[in-house]
Amino acid sequence: MLRTLSRVSELPIIVKQLQKRCHNNNIIGGCRIFSNNHNNSNNIIRNGRYSSSFFGLFQNAAQAGVSKTNNYATEATVQVNRPFKLHRLDEGPATEVKLTKDQALKYYTQMQTIRRLETAAGNLYKEKIIRGFCHLYSGQEACAVGMKAAMRDVDNIISAYRVHGWTYLMGVSPSGVLAELTGVQGGCARGKGGSMHMYAPNFYGGNGIVGAQVPLGAGVGLACKYKGNGGMCLALYGDGAANQGQVFEAYNMAYLWKLPVIFVCENNNYGMGTSSERASCNTDYYTRGDALPGIWVDGMDVLAVRSATEFAINYVNTHGPLVMETNTYRYSGHSMSDPGTSYRTREEIQEVRQKRDPITSFKELCIELGLITTDEVKAIDLKVRKEVDEATAFAKSDAELGVSHLWTDVYSNNLEPKLRGTIAYDIDHIQERKGVNH
């Protein structure tokens, strides 16, 4: 009967079982709790039975921090795993956050879907069905899901290489993501964009030029300020891009103009073939904005990322830009051509998977708090697997666009009848679809 608790919400059940067992059997030794402090033990055991104060301890523990319906928690208060670090800020994000059951189910589903999508993408690349570049986000899911959880409808995001998960979070179906990767017409950009050029409302895609998205993100922030809609932009880049000159130029301009931009350095500790310590003289990326304030957050903790992003959104809409560093980890190489083990050990990767995996850690936390049951976890896992498997099959079977579509939708609202680069081409501009975010 006595066992390890898997959920706080099981405490009332255990209390009733203990009470019934002790009452029915009138046990003197079998229900005894031993304590080195005899005075304390007297408060627990009286006349060979558990005292009411003992059962009260369990009942109070079950009630603390959670609201329950049918013996399962509907809300919990959670402490973030690791403290925030601040630069030029007197106060920072909340370290105690609320988590509801609906949020727990949503975040777990989103992170699991991104992980499955990236696994499917990796397999499709190995089968040579995905061609060109492919950069995976496995291990970093808590960063995207945490930031998205804090975003409002008026907020925007622009990123770099690893955008498959963000594309899904911003409203594109798994089939739309994987079909874009395989270059077929069912993709979100009709197969023309590929891994780094996916788009959705309020999502300005990825960028193949290292760090080039950062000044573009500052431009999106300028547009928000010009429109006066209260929105802001998350401009994401990695530790490998943090040394690019245009990043610092964007910092400077955004600060001078007080643009509502959060410059997010997703520090996964490694660039292409080398660690951040070997590439940067200052790896405290949240401090590198100089006059810009900064926040360091544990990027493996989805709730910490959400809390930090909520704080940052409120800050930039009032005071101007801020730098946020999410300390995270990528399981795969930089890209599919990088094995990812020549500059770090397999043992290191495995240790992070076992001790800090963002999905496993969040799942265990939610089960412990009684917000999610093991049956619900299994149901989500099965649903996600089925959805991604169906999306994979679609991405393999759908047709490519015809050659004549290669020069359609090059521009949105083109002012000239002919397409042109440095010279004019004898090709009519044809717009088949309305531009996203136009």
Residue 1 forms part of a structural domain: no
For residues 348 and 278, membership in a common domain is answered with yes
Residues 392 and 410 in one domain: no
Whether 166 shows a pLDDT value over 90: the answer reads: yes
pLDDT tier for residue 22 given thresholds of 50, 70 and 90: low
Rounded to whole angstroms, the Cα distance separating 169 from 272 reads 26
Q: What is the pTM for the complete model shown?
A: 0.83
Give a yes or no: residue 70 inside a domain: no
Looking at the fold, whether 128 and 185 belong to one and the same domain comes out as yes
Q: Which of 62-76, 147-161, 261-275, 288-302 is the least confident region?
A: 62-76
The confidence band for 18, taking pLDDT boundaries of 50, 70 and 90, is: low
The residue-averaged pLDDT of 235-247 equals 97
**Number of independent structural domains in the chain:** 3
Q: Answer yes or no: is 3 within a domain.
A: no
What average pLDDT does range 354-380 have in this prediction? 97
Indicate if 127 and 50 belong to the same structural domain.
no
For residue 429, what pLDDT is reported?
82
Has residue 60 got a pLDDT over 80? no
pLDDT, mean over the chain: 87
| Same-domain pairing of 257 and 357 | yes
Give pLDDT, residue 430.
86
Same domain, 322 and 426: no
Q: What is the pLDDT of residues 108-121, one digit of tens each?
A: 999 999 999 999 99
254 shares a domain with 226:
yes
What was the pLDDT predicted at 273? 82
User: In this structure, are 148 and 57 located in the same domain?
Assistant: no
CATH number at residue 284: 3.40.50.970
Are residues 40 and 122 located together in one domain of the fold?
Answer: no
Q: Are residues 211 and 352 in the same domain?
A: yes
Domain that holds residue 121: 76-397
Residue 71 resides in a domain: no
Asked, for residue 247, whether it belongs to a domain, the answer is: yes
The pLDDT value recorded for residue 416 is: 78
CA atoms within 13 A on the CB side of 129: 21
Burial 11-38 (b: 16+ CB within 10 A, else e): bbebbeebbeebeeeeeeeebeeeeeee
Same structural domain, 54 and 104: no
Residues 51 and 176 in one domain: no
